[in-house]
Amino acid sequence: MTKYLEIGQIVNTFGIKGMVKIKPFTDDINRFDKLKTIYIESKKVRKEYEIEEVKYHKNMVLMKLEGINTPEEADQLRQSYLLVDRSKEEPLEEGVYYIVDLLGLEAYTDEGQLLGKVDDIFNTGSNDIYVIKNELGKQILLPGLPEVLKQVDLEKGRITFHLIPGLME
C-alpha cells in the first residue's frame, strides 16, 4: 500500500495573497478543513507545508499555504499534487476503499473466471464504474453496484463481480 494518498491537484492561483486553487480527488471535500499540514509533490520532489487557511468556491478548494505569499510563488505550485500521510488518516468504514488500493487487483466473476485487472475507476454521479482490462488490452466496464460488485479482498489482490444478464452484451 502506498504511504501517501493523493487528495487533489493545484490547478491555478487565486487572489493576490498567494492562495492556490485545488481540484479535489475526494468524496468528502470538507476533509480539507481538518488538515493542519499537506505535502505537495512536484516533479518527484515532496515538501510539507503548513496550512494557514481553507475556503471553498464552486466545488474547488482554495488554500493558503505558509511561505507562499504572492501569486507568482503560488504559480510555481501549479499542476502539483496534494498528498496526505496515510498513517495519519482516520480509518475508512467497512466496505469503503481508496481507489489507489483497488487499481491493479485481479477481477474475477463469481464463477471464478478471470476478467482482467482493475485499470481505472471513475464516478458517474450515481455509482462508480470499474474499468477492467484483460491481457489483450480489451476493456470491460462494470458498475460498482451491490448486485454486481460482490467482494473486495485486498490481501489476496482480487475483486469479484457477479455478471448479471445483459451486462456484457
User: pLDDT tens across 70-87, in order?
Assistant: 999 999 999 999 999 988
List CB contacts of 95: < 8 A, sequence separation 6 or more: 152
Among 58, 87, 116, where does a domain finish? 87
Give percent of the chain above pLDDT 70: 98
At 1 the pLDDT is 62
Does one domain contain both 103 and 149?
A: yes
Report the alpha-carbon distance of residue 79 to residue 22 in Å, rounded.
Answer: 9
For all residues of the chain together, what is the average pLDDT? 90
Give the domain extent around 104.
99-161
Average confidence (pLDDT) over 81-101: 85
CATH number at residue 122: 2.30.30.240
CATH number at residue 31: 2.40.30.60
Does one domain contain both 13 and 58?
A: yes
At 12 the pLDDT is 96
Q: Is 26 exposed, middle or buried (0-12, 13-18, 19+ CB in 10 A)?
A: middle
Among 26, 61, 87, where does a domain finish? 87
3-state secondary structure of 47: strand
Of 6 and 92, the one with more pLDDT: 6
At 108 the pLDDT is 95
Does one domain contain both 77 and 142?
A: no
Whether residue 154 is predicted with pLDDT greater than 80 in this model: the reply is yes
At 168 the pLDDT is 66
